Structure 1
Amino acid sequence: MAIDLVLRREWNARAPRGDYTQLDSTKGVKVHYTGGRVDEAIVSDHARCVALVRSIQAYHMDGNGWIDIGYSYVACPHRKVFEGRGLHHLPAANGPGLNAGHYAVLGLVGNAGLVRPPDGVLHAIVDAIEFVRRNGSAGKEIKGHRDGYATDCPGEPLYAWVRRGAPRPAGGDEGGGPPAAPPFPGRLLGYPPVMHGEDVLTWQSQMRRRGWELDVDGAYGPQSRDVCRRFQRQQGVTADGIVGPITWRLTWEG
């Protein structure tokens, strides 16, 4: 299935306290765990996952003095991937001198409570890895945090899985392919002039989930048009910068 990305605004992330360092490409990904106790109740209550991610960000910013959460992405038991620092931004969690080598992906398991990663966490980590390879110029390496840094992270169960090559759990990608597109809103989205509406917001949100850098503000202006053109060229359709029925469908299913 396509990645189920929880954007920063959707988990009510705090704004970073400074500018990220550009990360052009990496060798791959390093996998992490929280290092603390994770309440097993998060497996049946996604709201607890959201609260945990927010608490991790607060600890990293207020306790460590970092500009933001230290991870690139966070994987939860519901097979959702939280956007942390995101694509092409230097993480902080891999260790001094090691952050430029790999994106940092956290699985929401710890050293007590929820220790063994549920299948949803493993799937979500793989979803994140495939996402940064496809959209973030990440290489093929999949390492644990302890590879190159003195730490127990990501814990024995998760590290054993990493050393096996981070395979998907038995049953593979049971999601059944990309999600179906919502009904076409009935009007063409184009610029000029700037167009506003929930249909614009819906399209922008999905494009952002797919890794395209654009503002999710409900305003279809020059930035949205230019992203649309690049997406259309990628999909092999007419690159006119207009979101019509075909481009709308490909936004979800292409």
Structure 2
Amino acid sequence: MTSSEASPSFRLAYVPGVTPTKWVRIWNERLPDVPLNLIAVPAAEACELLRGGGADVGFVRLPVDRTDLAAIPLYTETTVVVVPKDHLVTAVDEVAAEDLADEIVLHPLDETLDWEHRPGRPANERPATTADAIELVAAGVGLLVVPQSLARLHHRKDLTYRPLADAPASRVALSWLQEETTDLVEDFIGIVRGRTVNSTRGRSQAPAQPKGKRPEAGGARRKPAAGKAAGKPAGKSPRSGSGGPKGSRRGKPRRRS
């Protein structure tokens, strides 16, 4: 790991469909002295941004070239088909790829899915962006297959979507330049992985408890129980009838002669 001096800021890139709100909030709570700058970047340009030093870490879509980039897979998205609300597809809960055989399926140039065999019939021209493809779906030109987060990002009242079986899935990962694994990068990795503030990795750590000192619950020492001397075994009171000294007798005293 490369050690680094304190940085005035930390730059986080993210591709369309990723919502980094939760991680940004935790960062601001743990490292309020280090501003976190967000950089929105197209999926196809995210890796080059990291290589060029334009961001410290980034949420990207796999695959990435791991020759120089590190990547931690985070989650896999459901693939959906976006259709007009009055389309026949809306009558079912899930669509099979073969059900789209007679449909025009749009494949924008910024597509994030790795198809071996694209479903449906191709359009005469590929839209430049996913946003452009959404407009064409709304115009009744064709359908669009995307990760669910992109369908939500480009939500329109006249469109809906259904899960698509037998389709490649898109995986989101946290990535950064391996030779730039700084302390701040380790801090952000810890946040994304759910490490607590007391984790032994990363820069922001809580002070460790001295060994041999375990505080009692509630912060106070327990007092010895009533009637028990410290360091001596507990016994029954002499008045109990069984814990008194041996030889003691109870009864009437003898008359002296």
> Which category of TM-score, normalised to the shorter sequence, fits these structures?
under 0.3
Greater strand proportion: 2
Name the larger-Rg structure: 2
Q: Give the TM-score normalised by structure 2.
A: 0.21
Q: Give the TM-score normalised by structure 1.
A: 0.21
